[in-house]
């Protein structure tokens, strides 16, 4: 059974930081399995955006991108991300029926920082594009991510590691 998270890194890496917390981690892009997503996200960097804790999925934080960042499904991993996985997710307008979700288009990045996590929305699991996995620094980053449950959103910085 293929496991995208364990795929060998092909070279390009990104740094995930929470500057106010003084923590950062390095992630390897999973370019073999998600070349389009990896390239699209790489082209956006550096990104300085607000991260907020998820309320449906467990131990993950998410950050909203400009909704114009629309990437086709690729390397979708619905049920079993592992800690350190980073994914892209896009929900078009009217994807759900009813208010408020039926109106809300959203392009997002998600960072899974601990076990017992499954990307999902108000109606259950969602397919996401897994495009990177954290190789170093997850422990400190995870601590700061979980703190968002208690202290609210934080600024997130994503940069290329050249």
Partner 1 sequence: MGRKIVFELNGTRAVAEMHDEEVPKTCDAIWDILPVEGMSIHANWAGREIMLHLEGDKYLQLPPEGKKSHGGLAPGDINFFFRAPGLARGKQAAYSEQMRRGLSEFAIFYGDPAGGGLAAQDPTRRGDTSRFVSTKFAHFIDSPPEFLKKCEEIRHKGLQKLVVKRLES
Interacting residues with partner 1 (CB under 8 A): 52-59, 101, 114, 116, 118, 120, 122-125, 143, 146, 148-153
Nearer to partner 1, 20 or 149 (CB): 149
**Minimum gap (Å) between residue 91 Cβ and partner 1:** 15
**Minimum gap (Å) between residue 124 Cβ and partner 1:** 3
**Minimum gap (Å) between residue 134 Cβ and partner 1:** 18
Instruction: Report whether 126 contacts 101 (CB < 8 A).
Output: no
Burial class (CB in 10 A: 0-12, 13-18, 19+), 151: exposed
What DSSP letter does each residue of 51-118 carry, written as one string?
Answer: EEE-SSSSSEEEEEEPTT------SB--S---TTEEEEEEE-TTSSSSTTGGG--EEEEEEE-SSS--
Nearer to partner 1, 105 or 139 (CB): 139
**Distance in angstroms (rounded) separating the CA atoms of residues 29 and 35:** 9
Tokens of 127: 């397919």
Least Cα distance to 7 among 162, 131, 138, 142 occurs for 131
Nearer to partner 1, 94 or 123 (CB): 123
Nearer to partner 1, 3 or 153 (CB): 153
Nearer to partner 1, 45 or 55 (CB): 55
**Minimum gap (Å) between residue 29 Cβ and partner 1:** 27
**Minimum gap (Å) between residue 123 Cβ and partner 1:** 5
């Amino acid at each position: 059974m293929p496991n995208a998270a364990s795929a060998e890194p092909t070279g390009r890496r990104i740094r995930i930081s929470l500057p106010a917390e003084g923590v950062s981690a390095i992630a390897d892009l999973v370019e073999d399995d998600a070349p389009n997503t990896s390239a699209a996200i790489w082209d956006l960097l550096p990104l300085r955006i607000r991260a907020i804790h998820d309320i449906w999925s467990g131990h993950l934080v998410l950050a909203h991108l400009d909704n114009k960042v629309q990437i086709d499904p690729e390397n979708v991993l619905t049920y079993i991300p592992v800690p350190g996985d980073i994914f892209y997710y896009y929900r078009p307008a009217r994807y759900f029926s009813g208010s408020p979700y039926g109106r809300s288009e959203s392009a997002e990045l998600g960072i899974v920082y601990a076990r017992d996590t499954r990307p999902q929305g108000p109606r259950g699991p969602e397919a996401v594009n897994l495009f990177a996995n954290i190789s170093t620094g997850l422990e400190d980053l995870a601590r700061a991510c979980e703190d968002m449950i208690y202290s609210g959103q934080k600024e997130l910085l994503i940069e290329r590691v050249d």
